[in-house]
Amino acid sequence: MRHKSFKANRCPVARSLDTIGEWWSLLIVRDALVGIRRFSDFQKSLGLAKNVLSTRLKKLVACGIMEQVPASDGSAYREYALTQKGRELFPVIVALRQWGESYLFSRGEKRLQVLDKRTGKPFRVEVQNGKGKILTANDLELVTVMN
Amino acid sequence: MRHKSFKANRCPVARSLDTIGEWWSLLIVRDALVGIRRFSDFQKSLGLAKNVLSTRLKKLVACGIMEQVPASDGSAYREYALTQKGRELFPVIVALRQWGESYLFSRGEKRLQVLDKRTGKPFRVEVQNGKGKILTANDLELVTVMN
DNA sequence: CGAATCTGGTTGCATGATGCAACCAGTGAT
DNA sequence: ATCACTGGTTGCATCATGCAACCAGATTCG
């Protein structure tokens, strides 16, 4: 049985997961964010089966997160590049990274990190209200709105 | 063949997805964040098979994201509550929500939204460096650090 | 108190998704 | 001209998911 789709769900979180919640999808976006562009490089970096990579890339292209572009080295091959829609998954990746750093590494373990190119300092994500006040899970209230 | 585990991966994003990247897991956390606590309420809200819900909840408890606590109404039943580790997935959920709101709804479509309880205004997540400057995907550089 | 119902699951089964290996056409390098 | 690399596709075995049936203990109803 195919697993359920959340495409028609009213909740944006569910729709997002429907689009990029499959195994590997967000890791492909993560790799793309740090500059990986070619099929074989994604495969080497991620170590996933080629058929699955193929399926995932097709879906990412189909939903406008990535696009196929001519290779940057002038060869006849093509590369995969993030669209604006794909680049805006950046906060999702950073939020996952931040949580993983906090809770899933033991002391002394090596880990990869991203830094601000300019300052060399790590990133943070914060949830804020309009005024720049930092919010936590206790501050939320649920409503339905029209787009 | 069982799908690959990222438990030993150096990348925090991969480890996070290993922990909460399965179908339904983040939606369970989303529901828990807005106050759902009981098995049957999760099932009603999500519409997933009971055996899968059972499996997911067990895993979430096993990895310290949720815990079983006595029912708040004094009955003999037990409820599921988020731990601190679970509540700190809040920015991940908000980031997914924000992206979904931007890209996955047509004009005029109804959608659920979360608001700041106090001000009634929507949340935003922002990626910042230490100084409060807002960053995008172009500002990042990848390094390996020791914990 | 006894029966019905609700809660929180478990078990079996059919089907879809994933990983692996083999294969293949077009491109590029020698 | 040949040989390897790139970017896949196809087939197969196994695992995960959804669905339905079932079940034990707690609660409610009469």
pLDDT digits (tens, 9 = 90+) for B43-68: 999 999 999 999 999 999 999 999 99
A99:B126 CB<8 A: no
pLDDT beyond 70 at B146:
no
pLDDT band at A114 (very low <50, low <70, confident <90, very high): confident
Do B133 and A124 touch, CB atoms closer than 8 A?
no
Please, which pLDDT band fits residue A112 given cuts at 50, 70 and 90?
Answer: confident
Separation of alpha carbons B1 and B94, rounded Å: 33
pLDDT at A8: 87
Is the CB of B58 within 7 Å of strand D? no
Which residue approaches C11 most closely, CA to C1'? B51
Q: Do B141 and A116 touch (CB under 8 A)?
A: yes
Contact (CB<8Å) B136/A87: yes
The reply to whether residue B116 touches residue A135, judged by beta carbons under 8 angstroms, is yes
% of chain A surpassing 70 pLDDT: 95
* 8 A C-beta contact, residue A89 and residue A65: yes
pLDDT(B147) > 60: no
Give distance CA A28 / C1' C17 (Å).
18
Over residues B100-144, the pLDDT tens digits come to 999 999 998 988 888 888 888 888 999 998 888 899 988 887 665
Run of H or E including A143: strand A140-146
A37-51, A71-85, A118-132, B79-93, range with the lowest pLDDT: A118-132
Report the distance from CA of residue A93 to the C1' of nucleotide C29 in Å, as an integer.
Answer: 39
Nearest chain B alpha carbon to A6: B46
Find out whether B17 and A117 touch, Cβ atoms under 8 Å: no
- Per DSSP, B11 falls in state -
**Given a cut of 60, is residue A147 above it in pLDDT?**
no
Of B146, B104, B120, B123, the C-alpha closest to A107 is B146
Report the helix count and the strand count for chain B, using DSSP H and E: 6, 5
DSSP for residue B131: T
State, as a whole number of angstroms, the distance between the CA of B46 and the C1' of C21.
38
Give start and end residues of each alpha helix (H) in chain A.
Answer: 12-20, 25-33, 39-46, 50-62, 84-87, 90-103
Q: Which of A3-7, A13-17, A80-84, B75-79 is the least confident region?
A: A3-7
pLDDT digit string (tens) for B1-38?
778 899 989 999 999 999 999 999 999 999 999 999 99
Q: Above 90 in pLDDT, residue A145? A: no
Question: Cβ contacts (< 8 Å) between B108 and chain A: which residues?
Answer: 146-147
Chain D nucleotides with an atom closer than 7 Å to a protein C-beta? 5-11, 13-21, 25-28
Task: Tell me the mean pLDDT in the region A124-141.
Answer: 87
CA distance A114 to chain B (A): 5
Q: Is the pLDDT of residue A68 over 70?
A: yes
